[in-house]
Amino acid sequence: MNLTVSTPPFACRGISERIQTSSSSQIEESRPLASGRFKSRCIERLCILFLHSALLLGQSRSHPEGPLAHTFSIVARDPATGEMGVAVQSHWFSVGSAVSWAEAGAGAIATQSFVNVSFGPKGLELLKQGKTAGEVVRLLIEADEGRDFRQLAVVDSRGNVAVHTGKKCIRDAGHKTGGQFACQANMMLNNKVWRAMARVYERADGPLAERLIAALEAGQEAGGDIRGRQSSAILIVKPQTSDRPWEDRLMDLRVEDHPEPVRELKRLVRIHRAYAHMNAGDLAVEKNDMPSALAEYRSAEVFFPDNLEMKYWHAVSLANTGLLDQAMPLFRGIFAADENYRLLTRRLPDSGLLNISRKDLKKVLNIR
C-alpha cells in the first residue's frame, strides 16, 4: 500500500517567520550571547519537528485503525434450530477476540481485514433494535472513513445476510452468500477460498458448529491465508435471548496460537460436546436420576474416550445404580493411571455423591 503525504510549499517558511517574530526577543533575553546561527538551528529543528508530525498525521489518516486481521470466516444461521454463529481462521494472534461477535436473539457478525472492532458491538446493538443485516452493514459502512479497507459480514435472527468487501482489501479478497450464510475472505492465496467454503457448507450435514468447521477446512484446503495460519475461533448463540444470559452462548471456543488452528478447533468442539454431556450427567446426579446420568456419561466418553475424569464419573454412576461389578474394571484402570482418584473416591460419600455400603467402598478403595 503506497502512501503520499503532501506538505504545503510554504508551511515551513511560515512557521519560521512566526517563530522569529514572536520568540526572538525571548531567546535574546534568556541567552544574550546567542548568535543568529543558534537561532537558525532552533528554527530549523522546529520545522523538522513540524514536518515529522505532519507525516505521522498523514499516515494515521491514510491507514485505518484496528487489528490487521486478514482472514477468512463464515457467518450463518441454522434454519432448523435458529442457532446463529461465526467461525474464523487467520494468520494473526487471537483472531476471535476481534473478528467474532454474536448475541442470542440478534445475530452474528464477522468484522475483518483492517478490523473496525466497533462494528461488533455497534452492529449487535443495531440488530437488537430490529435492523436487518443489510441495514446494519449499510449504516456501519457509510459512517466509516476506512470503509475501503473493511470486510464486514452480518447474519440476523431472521436469516438475512449482508456483506461488504472494501475495494482496498488486500487481494485475493471477496465473498459468497447463500441461504442464511455468508463466506468472506481477504489476503488469500487465491480467489477460490470463499467459494470453496460456501460450497462445502451448503452440502454439510449435522449441527451448526460442525458445518462451520467444515467450511473453514474447505477454505484452508483451497489455499487459505497467503501468510499461513495461526489462530481460529467459533462462536454460536441461541435463537432467542433468555433470562439466563450465561446459557445463551452455546459455544465459544478459541485457538489463539497453533500451527494447525482449524484442526485444533475441531478437536476442541468434540471436547466441548463431551463436557456438555458431562454437565448434563452432573445435573442428573443432583436430581438423583442415575440412569440419565449414566447415559450422559457414556455419551461423553464417546466424544473424549481418553479422558480419565469422564471414565471416573461413569464408574461412580455405575456404582450408584447398583452395577458395582461393571464399575470395578473402570476404577481399576483409573486408579492405576492416577492415584489421586482413589483419594477422591474416599471423600465422595461425605458429599453424598457415592452411595454404596462401607463394605463396597472398601472393596473399591482396595482394588489393584
Do residues 75 and 201 lie in contact, with contact meaning Cβ atoms separated by under 8 Å?
no
- Within a domain: residue 19? yes
What band does 290 get if pLDDT is binned at 50, 70 and 90? confident
**Structure confidence by residue, pLDDT tens digits, 21-56:** 333 333 333 344 344 554 555 555 554 444 344 333
Per the structure, the count of domains in the chain is 3
Locus of grid cell 503506497: 2
Whether 252 and 329 share a structural domain: no
Whether 233 and 251 share a structural domain: yes
Sheet containing 84-90, strands listed edge to edge, beginning at the edge strand earlier in sequence: 174-178, 181-185, 71-77, 84-90, 231-237, 249-255
- Within a domain: residue 86? yes
CATH number at 349 reads 1.25.40
Whether 114 and 150 share a structural domain: yes
Whether 329 and 345 share a structural domain: yes
Boundary (domain end) residue, out of 198, 231, 259: 259
The boundaries of the domain holding residue 197 are: 68-259
pLDDT value at residue 51: 39
Which residues does 350 contact at the CB level (< 8 Å), separation at least 6?
A: none
CB contact burial 271-285 (16+ within 10 A = b; e otherwise): ebbbbbbbebbeebb
- Within a domain: residue 3? no
**Structure confidence by residue, pLDDT tens digits, 133-191:** 999 999 999 999 999 999 999 999 999 999 999 999 999 999 999 999 999 999 999 99
Whether 114 and 176 share a structural domain: yes
Q: Please give the grid coordinates belonging to residue 122.
A: 455497534
CB contact burial 304-314 (16+ within 10 A = b; e otherwise): beeeeebbbbb
Do residues 183 and 72 lie in contact, with contact meaning Cβ atoms separated by under 8 Å?
yes
pLDDT value at residue 44: 54
Q: Please give the grid coordinates belonging to residue 145.
A: 472513513
- Within a domain: residue 269? no
Identity of the amino acid at 33: L
Whether 226 and 348 share a structural domain: no
From the number of C-beta atoms within 10 Å of its C-beta (0-12, 13-18, 19+), residue 147 rates as middle
- Within a domain: residue 4? no
pLDDT value at residue 29: 39
CB contact burial 236-249 (16+ within 10 A = b; e otherwise): bbbeeeeeeeeebe
Whether 201 and 320 share a structural domain: no
Boundary (domain end) residue, out of 21, 46, 62: 62
Q: How far is residue 10's CA from residue 1's CA, in Å, rounded to a whole number?
A: 28
Identity of the amino acid at 85: G
